Structure 1
Amino acid sequence: MTTHFSKSIKSTLLALSWMAVFSCKPGDFGTTNINPNASETPVTAGLLTNVINQSARGFTITATEPDLYVQYIANSQYPEASLYSTVNADFGGYYSGPLYDLQNIINYNTNTATKASVASYGSNNNQIAIARILKAYFFQVVTDRWGDVPYSEALKGFPTPKYDTQQAIYADLFKELKEASAQFDGGTTVQGDILFGGDATKWKKFANSLRMVLALRLSKVDPTTGKSEFASALADAAGSIATNSDNAAFTYLNNVTFRSPWAAAYDGRDDFGVSDVFVNALQSTSDPRLPSLVAKISSGKYLGIPYGLKRDLLISWTGQNPQYSHPGSPIVQADSKGYILSAAQLLLSRAEAAQRGWTSENATTLYNSAIRASFEQWGVYDATSYAAYIASSGVSLASGNALQKIGTQKWIALYPNGYEAWAEWRRTGYPALTPTPYAVNVSKQIPRRYGYPTSEQTLNKANYDAAVARLSGGDTHDARVWWDTK
């Protein structure tokens, strides 16, 4: 894995060099602008490597603010974000970064002038299929953060792209994922794929799994469509992520450049600890995952930071408690894994769908299998402790409150993927999280979305105004995205 990753990073640098050459017009200055040592062929393998690397960082699965919203972590020094001070956030990095690279992969493999040359990095259809699946994944993250966003006119050179409704975006994401899965042609394996090694079967499982995640997002706003799309993905012959061997998990490298962002967060700084909310939830059910997910302090105890304290109270608490629990060793190691989609998450999604009557599967069987998959993912599975855990009244579906327990288990299983956990919490309301009493936003509630980039108010005003007009409550983080109905 390390060798493959390193080669792919080098390819990324070659791709960037090629793009710089391509942006010039050699004919203007004879051969002056031609570098005889630079590649004249786009290195799509490098672009793909770069995108997958970005998917495992702040763009999707490692960002502290949503981890604060779902109360996985708490601030130790500067509590502004956990008091909900952030309103607007910039989505430009998604469009100029991973989405731009993915569109270029599609363009290079489609354009008659380049498709033959880039086929050396994998068949054209296979490269396009992977790029379309990843585009759908990134657009899902973007629309779930902001709601209506540029989509149909994005990445096409429009200086002021319109904002598509989230409903329309979701409809197209379902289409894209289905068509992309069907596009794999059995040709040459795609290079630069540091997630699945070019394995088309695993990419199809990833696409079907993402379809299930998207389908469940519609559980409140459009359950009819949600049920249909979920059943379609579940019935697909390629299958979905159901065992840890199929996890979409990114392995970081034990070096400064490509280490886990969680390892980097504690390199010379100590701004966050695990929240008391998360620690207490695991302790209340004697959860065997606790030692892997949360580190003990030197006394041998777990001590979470009280969630949502304002600065004076926080400084007072940390002054009295200079040690507090950090995320566990499997998370903060430089070469740990970042989970994009896991078996535990998908099995819990299937359990919820079954509980809602969307499928004929057995909710309890899937729920218990999900917990086992999570235990195995974090290296804590033991038959005796597992049996005791799933039989306990606070966990067993037999004791009632099935949807609440499924939602709570998904919250635990997703840790520390704050973006996905935040989306699931907004949709289901589980677990029941209490906002900080020191909130500075108008509603005093946990944010429901990010406000649009402030630059859009001038650079893309007409389309921005149209999107804001569709928001109940305006462009605030208290407004709700389409699927997040009350």
Structure 2
Amino acid sequence: MKINIKKATFLWVITATIGLSSCKKLVDINDDPTRLKDPDASLVLPAAQGRIGFTMGSDIHRYTSLWVQQFAAQGGGAAQPTQYDKYAVGESDINNTWAATFAGTLSDLQKVIQKTETTSPKYSGVAKILRAYVYQTHVDAFGDLPFTEANNFESNLKPKFDSSSSIYDGLISLIDAGIADTKKASALSPTTDDLFYGGDMDKWERFGNALKLRLYIHYFSTNGTAADATKAKAGIDAILAANKLLRNNADNFQMKFLTSANQTNPIHQFEGSRPNQFFPSKTLVDLMNAKGDSRRNSFLTLLSGAYVGATNGIGDVTISTNFSRMNTYIRGRLSGTAYGGEAPIRMLTFAEQNQILAEYFARTNGGANLVTADTYYRAGITASFSAAIEFSDATEAAAVTSGLATYLASTNGTVAVGNAIQKIIEEKFVANFGVAIEPWTDWRRTGFPALTPVTPATAIPRILPYSFNERSYNPNTPARPSVFTKTVFWDK
């Protein structure tokens, strides 16, 4: 599968299928036996996938990456990111994300399931796994959500909100159902209209299992119960026994982009349109500096020979551009002074999967599995270093790669009794640079990395507000006292 074919499909679908749920058939394909007789599912799937990629690189990424201090805002008080950086994200700020997700992505995926579950279940399997991913990220961001009554627009415009814990249970079942569908005989199967894996059902199964790992590891938290740990252990042990997980970076769940105008990575697009508002945070940069992390070469640009991060929470009054910026890992290949913008939006990677398993083994059996934890920890580091050079030139790639052996040989490259969880989560924090929500989730459930609230706040947000439009029109929307209220079940 060549990526240009996939992206051509994606770009045409995004342009042609706005409001697809009410569209008539766009082309006559009745005589093409390789396509669905009703073309909607083969068009809706890539439209939903493309929307997922853009959503996870847009507002929801900016809010959560600022709060967890992977990024910091600059540009003065009139710049929106400086307000977000000071935790001023309001209900109206959420309207677009909420609508894109519930009226757009989740609704479209549900239509794919309804159209294909009986005759072409490989489509419905992919859609079920994707619905589980979207819900996982949004439950972690918002807490309770419409789930069992969601997307029934013909009969229920005011769905109830299900508890975050019950949704998690439902997501495990949804993923299992999706994986089962991918293994069934199917009249038609996704090919170029699958923008993530090109119709490779084996990769969808592997991603589905990796997504279950992510769900289960969230049960391990600072205030988690013994019952939570038992539930998570049983789930992870079953996944490990099945031995069907991401194998390498080629299995990463990520959305790739093109270098053409308006077809690039949304983080890159934001940097291009607002070039002095979104910088790598001092928290992230100082952590990498302290470890002599050679991934800085592709993650960050140099400023007068040094890597310098911006301080969170002061960009509205202390305005400067004297900071390192995002480099090729986030923005794609560099040609002269221009970035290509083709770097992917990463959503769940092989590096993260390894750190999830490192954390799991560090937490279980009273520390007796620390050697196994260390093996996964080092594998996660190696995978991250490898991914870091995908868009590097030869000089930059050599600078990153040459530091791997030194990094692994140092105290940074191994976990030990007493600091294992901190080291694993800090490593995951770096490896997930550019990943929406998950670094914030890790901080909320573990307390790592150590963060200081921006002045004058005394705490860091634990939850996003609900959409103003949803609260206005759906009386079932729960009260949301403040963004500082612990709401998600694993954060209580």
Aligned runs of 1:382-461 on 2, under 5 Å? 385-398=403-416, 400-439=418-457, 444-461=458-475
The change in CA–CA distance for 1:162 and 1:426 in structure 2 (over 3 A counts) is same
Give the letter for the 1:183 counterpart: D
Give the letter for the 1:86 counterpart: V
Structure 1 portions without partners, runs of 5+? 23-33, 116-123, 469-473
| Aligned with residue 43 of structure 2, among 32, 41, 46 | 46
Structure 1 counterpart of 2:246: 241
- SS of match in other structure, 1:44: helix
Structure 2 counterpart of 1:31: none
CA offset at residue 438 of structure 1?
2.9
| Aligned with residue 69 of structure 2, among 57, 66, 71 | 71
| Aligned with residue 306 of structure 2, among 301, 304, 312 | 301
Structure 1: distance between partners of 2:449 and 2:219: 19
Structure 1: distance between partners of 2:10 and 2:266: 19
Structure 2 portions without partners, runs of 5+? 31-36, 333-340, 390-396
Structure 1: distance between partners of 2:23 and 2:233: 49
Q: Deviations over 1:246-267 (max 9, x none)?
A: 1112211111222011221122
The change in CA–CA distance for 1:93 and 1:13 in structure 2 (over 3 A counts) is closer
Which has the greater radius of gyration?
1
Give the letter for the 2:51 counterpart: Q
CA offset at residue 14 of structure 1?
5.5
1:84 matched to 2:87: yes
Structure 2 counterpart of 1:4: 6
Aligned runs of 1:144-163 on 2, under 5 Å? 144-157=140-153, 158-163=156-161
Structure 2 counterpart of 1:120: none
The change in CA–CA distance for 1:226 and 1:60 in structure 2 (over 3 A counts) is farther
Aligned runs of 1:322-361 on 2, under 5 Å? 322-333=321-332, 334-357=341-364
Structure 2 counterpart of 1:173: 171
- SS of match in other structure, 1:432: coil
The change in CA–CA distance for 1:354 and 1:311 in structure 2 (over 3 A counts) is same
The change in CA–CA distance for 1:302 and 1:18 in structure 2 (over 3 A counts) is closer
Structure 2 counterpart of 1:30: none
Structure 2: distance between partners of 1:385 and 1:36: 53
Q: State the TM-score, normalizing by the size of structure 1.
A: 0.85
Structure 1: distance between partners of 2:460 and 2:61: 16
Structure 2: distance between partners of 1:371 and 1:9: 34
Give the letter for the 1:55 counterpart: I
Structure 2: distance between partners of 1:87 and 1:14: 32
Number of matched pairs: 444
Contact 2:70 2:281 in 1 (8 A): yes
- SS of match in other structure, 1:340: strand
Aligned runs of 1:225-264 on 2, under 5 Å? 225-237=231-243, 239-264=244-269
Structure 2: distance between partners of 1:394 and 1:457: 46
Structure 1: distance between partners of 2:27 and 2:291: 65
Structure 2: distance between partners of 1:400 and 1:455: 47
Give the letter for the 1:338 counterpart: I
Q: Deviations over 1:159-196 (max 9, x none)?
A: 11011011110001011111211112254431310110
The change in CA–CA distance for 1:306 and 1:476 in structure 2 (over 3 A counts) is same
CA offset at residue 482 of structure 1?
3.0
Structure 1 counterpart of 2:383: 373
**Of 1-10 and 404-413, the range deviating more from structure 2:** 1-10
| Aligned with residue 116 of structure 2, among 109, 116, 127 | 109
Contact 1:244 1:373 in 2 (8 A): yes
Structure 2: distance between partners of 1:216 and 1:94: 24
Structure 1: distance between partners of 2:464 and 2:283: 23
The change in CA–CA distance for 1:412 and 1:459 in structure 2 (over 3 A counts) is same
CA offset at residue 273 of structure 1?
1.2
Q: RMSD value over aligned CA atoms?
A: 2.5
Structure 2: distance between partners of 1:36 and 1:366: 49
**Of 160-169 and 72-81, the range deviating more from structure 2:** 72-81
Aligned runs of 1:106-145 on 2, under 5 Å? 106-110=113-117, 124-145=120-141
Contact 2:56 2:345 in 1 (8 A): no
Contact 2:252 2:350 in 1 (8 A): yes
CA offset at residue 242 of structure 1?
3.3
Structure 1: distance between partners of 2:90 and 2:268: 27
Structure 2: distance between partners of 1:363 and 1:242: 17
The change in CA–CA distance for 1:189 and 1:284 in structure 2 (over 3 A counts) is same
Give the letter for the 2:469 counterpart: S
- SS of match in other structure, 2:279: strand
Contact 1:449 1:478 in 2 (8 A): yes
Contact 2:56 2:436 in 1 (8 A): no
CA offset at residue 17 of structure 1?
8.4
CA offset at residue 93 of structure 1?
2.4
Structure 1: distance between partners of 2:431 and 2:268: 20
